[in-house]
Structure 1
Amino acid sequence: MKLSLCMIVKNEATTLPKCLNSVKGVVDEMIVVDTGSSDRTIDVARSFGAYVFPYPWDNDFAKARNESLKYVNGDWVLVLDADEVLVPEIVPSLQQAIQSDRHILINLLRQEVGSSQSPYSMVSRLFRRHQDVYFSRPYHAIVDDSIAELRQTQPDWQIGYLPDLAMLHYGYQPGEIASKNKLARAQAAMEQFIATHPQDPYVCSKLGGLYTQVGKIDRAIDLLQQGLQAPQLDSTLSYELHYHLGNAYMRQGNLASAIGHYKEAIKQPILPKLKLDTYNNLGNLLKELGKLDSAKKAYENALEIDPKFATAYHNLGLTLKAMGLFDQAIEAYHQALELNPNNPETHQNLGVVFMKLGRVPESLAAFKFAIALHEQSHPQEAQRLRQSLAEMGFSV
């Protein structure tokens, strides 16, 4: 089976080499549709042997992605964006998956590097080339709609997924989002779509999540509740709608409703790794309400799913500290720092626990790390911490 890479790009000369390197030797051809680059994007793509085709941008991602499908010669299509890379460890499983004569679509697990929300998502980026498979929706363009229609007449086609990590996505880095005005572009495209498709649960979920992110909480809740009323919701959409409602109610201060929706999200039969942020957020709310045993359990559930989830170790440490279990808190903080040594809050909280135990040299060492890290991004917090220690008679 031959595999084709399909991409749409614009001014991605910096990020594109890393992306294309990740699939070099994996795909049989690279199809790149350029929507108006003014940098060296086209030259970079061609240096990797990619076929590059121009396409005038018209604010519709689906149209641009469908343009790329016109040039595909492979039996299967892999779709990446320039800010994504294929994880090398997934290649044997991917190559085995496309040998299937039953599957029309293989969903891939993607890690959202730098995201403040869910660390993982499942994306429909590997599919069989078929005349009736195409992208729809102007933003968050997906092939799922066309595949659902195809399976109504050809139910033998199956949808599968690879459970192991397949892709890394760097598009949620704060500077990346701001520099490309991603939130505003996404909101405009989805608002245009929802105006003519008000009952579409997929866009209700995505736009509702975006509204929560930008602080339009009432609009988010209305839209997400509207999405839940759609008939025959699949488990993935049910999960996303409840998850985003949990976030929205949490931002609103309605903790009871937030907890209820997080618990409903957790009940959905989806890949457990997709639930990590829900367990974490649930733990945070339970901790805030003083339900420390339940919060501890929520973080432990997350860590059982992914023992490398540094945020859960950090929050577990906070909970154990509040419970007076200082030695266990220290262990949790150390686990967090092994995974993410550059988190100043973890160093700072570790310093607090050491101080409570009278282990002053270790406490000051932890505070010193915290101050150095705060200096890089929050110098005012570094000064505040230094001042607090000075008032206690310590110089760091």
Structure 2
Amino acid sequence: MMKRPTVSLCMIVKDEEALIQTCLLSVKDWIDEMIVVDTGSTDKTVQIARSMGAAVLSFEWNNHFADARNYGLTHAKSDWILYLDADEELSPLGDFDLHKALKETQASILSLHLVNYIGDSPNEDEAFHIAHPRFFRNHIGLQFKYAIHETLNIDDVFPDRDHAEVMGAIPLKLFHRGYMEPITTQKNKYSRNMTLLQQEAKSPSSSSNPWIEYHIASEYYRIREYEKAFEYVNLSIIRFIQGGKMPPSMLYKLKYAILFNTGSIDGAWPGIDKAIALYPDYVDLHFYKGVICYVKGWYAAAIDVFKHCLELGETTGLHLTLRGTGSFHAWYYLGLCWEKTGNNQAAINAYEKAYELSPTYSIAKDALHRLQEIDK
């Protein structure tokens, strides 16, 4: 009988005393070893990690996240690697037999359901959701590349295989707090990230990495410098195409989010249809189209689009999806459309459905109360 697969947790940290205990507690009971690479903490991060049973390794920070992560990998002895950051927390295993799943899978890389919180407090309804690779087999050559927004070298290890052939998924959620407003402000992530991205853009490897421009665009977007964000996301799209690759769906999501935030509805139309043609299953792009139709006063068309959003729903996969685009946000906009066309009862029903699906969705609650008062 094959032995139970073992798992090493590998992390890199610096000054994470407020978060690291929660992260380690979320895996401590079933992990085989915890390897924490510290890049220069001056707070109690190291002491807390050691008190939790982690092996702490020191690594002199060289402005290269992949180097730090790979240093931890060289010390991992287990069959599988799980990599996390201190601002993340894994959901409880519950009845899920993780070790059985690892034993039986044919995949070399396994994704988790990543929940990226974006509000002021943790709320899954105020979050972006995506499947993200976090477990991978040890000792087969997989490691990280790129100085920032490091990623696994899948193409180097499996040059002749499609990613779908070597990847699988397991039904666990990973909650990420790193881009909530209080944390990004405290850690000044914009300055750190932009410095490293600009450094990476000047490196020899940048010519083969069109993700750099995307990540620069994302940083500009977060600080609301939309003109620069738009310039860089378009550069990223062009570089993917020039490299013979279809631009990933999240580039189009960012592009149209920028246009929406600048009020450039005419700039988003009719180009959104071309993006949808590339990714017809991406509910967020359909939702953007629905909003365009609504703003232009094409209410019947908007209703059709938002109904289609509800049909698509929100399955967590390769697309970065804002919670609600296939549920409560779509119902809310259906309510707005029906209200505009004079069907108040249908609008009330839609607002009720949106509020039922997301009890923290205050604008649906306010719209519902407003219409109910009118209809009294």
Instruction: Tell me which interval the TM-score lies in, with the shorter structure as reference length.
Output: 0.7 to 0.9
The one-letter amino acid of 1:306's match is: E
- 2:149 aligned partner: 140
Cα contact 2:35–2:72 (8 A) shared by 1: yes
- Are residue 19 (structure 1) and residue 23 (structure 2) matched? yes
Distance in 2 (CA, whole Å) between partners of 1:52 and 1:61 is 17
Counterpart of 2:210 (choices 201, 204, 208) is 201
- 2:301 aligned partner: 294
- 2:314 aligned partner: 306
* CA shift digits 1:299-322 (9 cap, x unpaired): 334334139734333333333322
Q: CA deviation at 1:279?
A: 3.4
Cα contact 2:11–2:35 (8 A) shared by 1: yes
Which range moves more in the overlay, 324-333 or 23-32?
Answer: 324-333
- 1:240 aligned partner: 250
- Are residue 211 (structure 1) and residue 220 (structure 2) matched? yes
| 3-state SS in 1 of match to 2:96 | helix
Q: CA deviation at 1:73?
A: 1.0
Distance in 1 (CA, whole Å) between partners of 2:42 and 2:128 is 32
Distance in 1 (CA, whole Å) between partners of 2:94 and 2:214 is 29
Distance 1:111 1:102, change over 3 A: same
Q: CA deviation at 1:262?
A: 4.0
Cα contact 2:212–2:236 (8 A) shared by 1: no
Cα contact 1:200–1:230 (8 A) shared by 2: no
| 3-state SS in 2 of match to 1:103 | coil
Q: CA deviation at 1:218?
A: 4.6
Distance in 1 (CA, whole Å) between partners of 2:270 and 2:367 is 30
Distance in 2 (CA, whole Å) between partners of 1:250 and 1:265 is 15
Q: CA deviation at 1:209?
A: 3.0
| 3-state SS in 2 of match to 1:119 | strand
| 3-state SS in 2 of match to 1:88 | coil
The 5 A counterparts of 1:63-212 are 63-88=67-92, 92=96, 94-100=98-104, 102-114=106-118, 119-130=128-139, 132-143=141-152, 146-152=153-159, 158-162=165-169, 164=171, 166-196=173-203, 197-198=206-207, 200-212=209-221
Q: Number of residues paired by the alignment?
A: 351
Unaligned runs of 5+ in 2: 120-124, 316-322
The one-letter amino acid of 1:202's match is: W
* CA shift digits 1:202-259 (9 cap, x unpaired): 223222233333322452354234234233325xx43122222222333444434424
Cα contact 1:62–1:136 (8 A) shared by 2: yes
- Are residue 279 (structure 1) and residue 291 (structure 2) matched? no
Q: CA deviation at 1:24?
A: 2.4
Distance in 2 (CA, whole Å) between partners of 1:268 and 1:77 is 34
Cα contact 1:31–1:50 (8 A) shared by 2: yes
Q: CA deviation at 1:7?
A: 0.9
Distance 1:250 1:342, change over 3 A: closer
Distance in 2 (CA, whole Å) between partners of 1:187 and 1:37 is 21
- 2:319 aligned partner: none
- 1:224 aligned partner: 236
Cα contact 2:70–2:143 (8 A) shared by 1: yes
- 2:318 aligned partner: none
Distance in 2 (CA, whole Å) between partners of 1:105 and 1:65 is 17
Whose helix fraction is larger, Structure 1's or Structure 2's? 1
Distance 1:342 1:249, change over 3 A: closer
| 3-state SS in 1 of match to 2:114 | strand
Cα contact 2:216–2:229 (8 A) shared by 1: no
Distance in 2 (CA, whole Å) between partners of 1:90 and 1:190 is 39
Distance in 2 (CA, whole Å) between partners of 1:334 and 1:87 is 30
Which range moves more in the overlay, 16-25 or 322-331?
Answer: 322-331
Give the structure-1-normalised TM-score: 0.78
Distance in 2 (CA, whole Å) between partners of 1:155 and 1:355 is 57
- 1:49 aligned partner: 53
Distance 1:220 1:103, change over 3 A: same
Which range moves more in the overlay, 258-267 or 6-15?
Answer: 258-267
Cα contact 1:90–1:165 (8 A) shared by 2: no
Cα contact 2:233–2:251 (8 A) shared by 1: no
- 1:346 aligned partner: 364
* CA shift digits 1:7-29 (9 cap, x unpaired): 11122222222222221223211
| 3-state SS in 1 of match to 2:166 | strand
Cα contact 1:224–1:244 (8 A) shared by 2: no
The one-letter amino acid of 1:286's match is: C
Counterpart of 1:332 (choices 339, 343, 350) is 350
- 2:122 aligned partner: none
- 1:357 aligned partner: 375
Cα contact 2:90–2:172 (8 A) shared by 1: no
Q: CA deviation at 1:79?
A: 0.9
Unaligned runs of 5+ in 1: 359-396
Q: CA deviation at 1:72?
A: 0.6
Distance in 2 (CA, whole Å) between partners of 1:173 and 1:156 is 30
The one-letter amino acid of 2:76's match is: V
Q: CA deviation at 1:190?
A: 1.6
Q: CA deviation at 1:164?
A: 4.3
The one-letter amino acid of 1:114's match is: I
| 3-state SS in 2 of match to 1:207 | helix
